[in-house]
Amino acid sequence: MLDVKDLHAFYGASHVVQGVSFSISKGEAVALVGRNGVGKTSTLKSLMGMETRTRGRVDFDGSSLMGMASHVRASRGLGYVPEERAVFPQMNVEENIRIGALLHSASDGRGVLERAYALFPILRDRRNQMAGTLSGGQQKMLALARGIALQPKLLLVDEPTEGLMPANVELITHALLSATETGMTVLVVDSSFDLLKTLCARMYAMDRGVLIGTYKPADFSSPDELAATMLGETRA
Amino acid sequence: MVSQVVLQLLNGLVVGSSLALVAAGLALLFGVLHIINFAQGDFFMMGGYAVWFVLNLTHNFVLAMVIGTVAVAIVGGLLLTAVIWPLLGRSPVLVLLATLGLSLILQQMATNILGGDTKLVQPPLAQPVPIGPILYPAYDLVVIGAGIGILVLGYFGLQYTRYGIWLRAVAQNRPMAAALGVPVPRVYILAFMVSAGLAAMAGGLLLPLQSVYPTIGNDVIQNAFIIVVAGGLGNFRGAAIVALLVGEFNALGQLVPGIKPSVLTLTLFGLVILLLMVRASRQQILVRL
């Protein structure tokens, strides 16, 4: 479904993604792991067409995405849930979800709202609240619920559990798992051992702009082992 | 005295509602693209000429208003697209200079093609309407109604229609809007056209009251800038409300015995600076659409 070959991305003078190649099949959930600043977010942004200077090949569903604007990629079936600045702060929860749904017919729009609220019922209670006044965790839920509810073919998710308490990590893991069960393909950047173990069949480890290996979450028995192997650090 | 106050209140609404159209267009562009358009006053001028031109052909004021507004919305929107598009993502100063250049070009072209004289038309409605103690021209009431009506329509359009929601989404978080599939280029072009169309409509509405000449835009834009800054840069509703207040301030100010117009203008500047200082101490100045 997604075939990436020798992808490069540049940010200012720095060469942040230096020739990354990987592929994902339909319905798979795959993770990109590694330390901060090694190019994971830039890889996701490049796939979504949000990095201005990229090079290489990205084939999605049999056709090339290179040179396409973000909104065209979205209409081809890509979804994106960024780590930061994911919501529209001065629009309410319902409008935040509807923005993407407005591309579809009115009845689809209702469906998108219902699916989003079913994932995180707290969003229904907060539907008239400005998104900028939600807590950080609720904003993350809103962004993820919107991403999943729009039913893209491939969802790119950046650090969905970063900074969340364990109960919310479980909720978010469950939401992503239920999305893959409906046939959605997911590429996630995250470091939560629980999420990786529950959700992902494969993990690509990344360091300094390149992929350094492919692993299975089952290869690791504890978060410390995973961290020591791939993140190059031992967790306290 | 009462009749004079009522008269000036209504005059203030006429000026305020048409200024509000110009300023709301400026605020829309600032909100969506973070650019300041120096040629906004010249779209007001083009609107006046377009309505004058169509009116001479058709002798139907409503038709002339519709055709004139739509024509300037399209032409002005395309001009802005051509001038600003290549500069997007570069220094905002370049956009500022480019729209200033566009303004000068439009004024010179108007002078060359149409001459420097003023074009005046008769109001389509001449009969006076009794309001309280005074008789007020019916056409002036139409200007108030049309201006405020369009602004209310624009406000609800921004709140509830598909493109209205997209305009606000692009204003608040462009990369995320694009990632959700919002066609950003189309939203930009729409903002250009609506902005130019609002100014043109004001120019057309005021044609029977003020006439039109090539540099009329310069007289309009100064007040429009004050209003957009005071209303909260990029805030459509704020700009509209402040425009009505500015119109009333200038109209009622004339009732003060012996006051000079320059003193009124200076007082207005002072009030705006005071407003900005108070607001800056409480919240950020920049309000999103």
Give the span between the Cα atoms of A54 and B204, in whole angstroms.
48
Who wins on pLDDT, B60 or B222? B60
Helix (H, G, I), strand (E, B), or coil: what is residue B139? Answer: helix
Q: A106-119 vs A93-101: helix axis angle to the nearest 10?
A: 130
Q: What counts of helices (H) and strands (E) characterise chain A?
A: 9, 10
Rounded CA separation B195/B43 (Å):
9
Compute the nearest-CA separation of A74 from chain B (Å): 5
Query: Residue A236: which residues within 8 A CB-CB, separation 6 or more?
Result: none
Minimal Cβ distance to B165: which of A90, A102, A146:
A102
For Cα atoms A128, A134, A139, give the angle at the middle one, nearest 5 degrees. Answer: 105
A70 lies within 8 A of chain B by CB:
yes
pLDDT at A69 over 90: yes
A75 part of contact set with chain B, CB < 8 Å: yes
Residue A22's SS3 state is strand
**C-alpha–C-alpha distance, residues A227 and B135, integer Å:** 83
pLDDT in tens, B142-176: 999 999 999 999 999 999 999 999 999 999 999 99
Model pLDDT for residues B204-246, shown as the tens digit of each residue: 999 999 999 999 999 899 889 989 988 887 888 889 999 999 9
* Alpha-carbon distance values, B86 to A216, B42, B91, B104 (Å): 47, 21, 11, 19
Break chain A down into helix, strand, coil percent, rounded to 5.
40, 25, 35
Counting every residue, how long is chain A?
Answer: 236
Residues of A within 8 A of B183 (CB-CB) are 71
Phi, psi angles (nearest 5°) of residue A81? -120, 100
Chain A residues with CB inside 8 Å of B173's CB?
85, 87-89
CB contact under 8 A, B169 and A99: yes
For residues A90 and A132, is the Cβ–Cβ distance under 8 A?
yes
Q: What is the mean pLDDT of residues B64-76?
A: 98
pLDDT of res. B283: 61
Chain B residues with CB under 8 Å of A74 CB are 178-181
Q: Which of A50, A91, A95 sits opposite B175 (nearest CB)?
A: A50
Full-model pTM: 0.90
Inter-residue contact B99 to B29 (CB < 8 Å): no
B102-149 pLDDT per residue, tens = 999 999 999 999 999 999 999 999 899 999 889 999 999 999 999 999
CB-CB contact of A154 with A77 (8 Å): yes
Q: Report yes or no: A141 and A161 within 8 Å, Cβ to Cβ.
A: no
The whole-number pLDDT of residue B163 equals 93
> B179 to chain A: which residues are within 8 Å by CB?
48, 50, 70-71, 74, 79-80, 82
Interchain contact, B176 vs A87, CB within 8 Å: yes
Residue matched to tokens 């190649």: A21
Report whether pLDDT(B285) > 60. Answer: no
Half-sphere exposure of A173 (CA within 13 A, CB side): 20
Look at residue B287 and tell me whether its pLDDT is greater than 70: no
Contact criterion met (CB < 8 Å) for A87 and B179: no
For an interface test with B, give the residue of A102, A144, A151, A155 to mutate (most B CBs within 10 A).
Answer: A102
Q: What is the phi/psi pair of residue B284, to 5°?
A: -70, 150
| A74–B172 C-beta distance less than 8 A | no
Whether B177 and chain A come into contact, CB under 8 Å, resolves to: yes
Q: Stretch A21-45: mean pLDDT, rounded? A: 94
| Bridge partners, residue A189, by sequence | A32, A158
Contact call for residues B150 and B24 (beta carbons, < 8 A) = no
Angle (nearest 5°) at CA A46 between A43 and A47: 90
| A86 closest CA partner among B169, B32, B162, B173 | B173
